[in-house]
Amino acid sequence: LRCCSSNGSGEKERTLGIIKPDGLSGNYSDRIKQVILESGFNINKEMVIQLDEENAANFYAEHSSKPFFTNLIKYMTSGPVLVMILEKEDAVIHWRELIGPTDAGKAKITHPQSLRAMCGVDIEKNCVHGSDSHQSAQREIAFFFKEAPSAFKTEAVRKHDEL
């Protein structure tokens, strides 16, 4: 868990949120979206996609040498994910606050109101993702919504792009 600080500018910022396979299969997306909207975020774009191993490994490239990497890739490819661009002032830090600590088991004790406490299980299966900095957010948004391979260009994304 690296995290972030407000840039203090008061401008709208975008971050990337993902409802991971356990969150989606556990039917948590409606509750999570409700929390997102009640917390003042706009959901700019969203799409449901099935990551393959290469997509997941590229997305989590910074963790490629970590002992948990192989299991993380299995987890992230175990079912579809819901990817969202979230917009708000200081969106990166506010979304990280809402999702809570990486370890969902600990979050249930230390951050019981957090999304990971609500829908996650442990340090791996923590049901949601949030970019950890403004720079990561830009890379991750581009990964899914700008430079995404054609396989990602679902109907949902095309419709948003045409608006």
The arrangement of strands across the sheet holding 42-49 comes to 42-49, 81-89, 12-19, 128-130
* Length in residues, the chain: 163
In the residue annotation, 94 being an active-site residue is answered as no
Q: Which residues in 15-44 contact ligand UDP (CB under 6 A)?
A: none
Least separation in angstroms between residue 66's CB and ligand UDP is 7
Nearer CB in complex with ligand UDP: 22/46: 22
Q: Read out DSSP for 2-61?
A: ----------EEEEEEEE-HHHHHTT-HHHHHHHHHHTT-EEEEEEEE---HHHHHHHTG
Least separation in angstroms between residue 102's CB and ligand UDP is 3
Residue 68 interacts with ligand UDP (CB under 6 A): yes or no: yes
Binding site for ligand UDP (CB under 6 A): 1, 63, 68, 72, 102, 123-124, 126, 129, 132
Q: Which sequence positions are flagged as catalytic?
A: 129
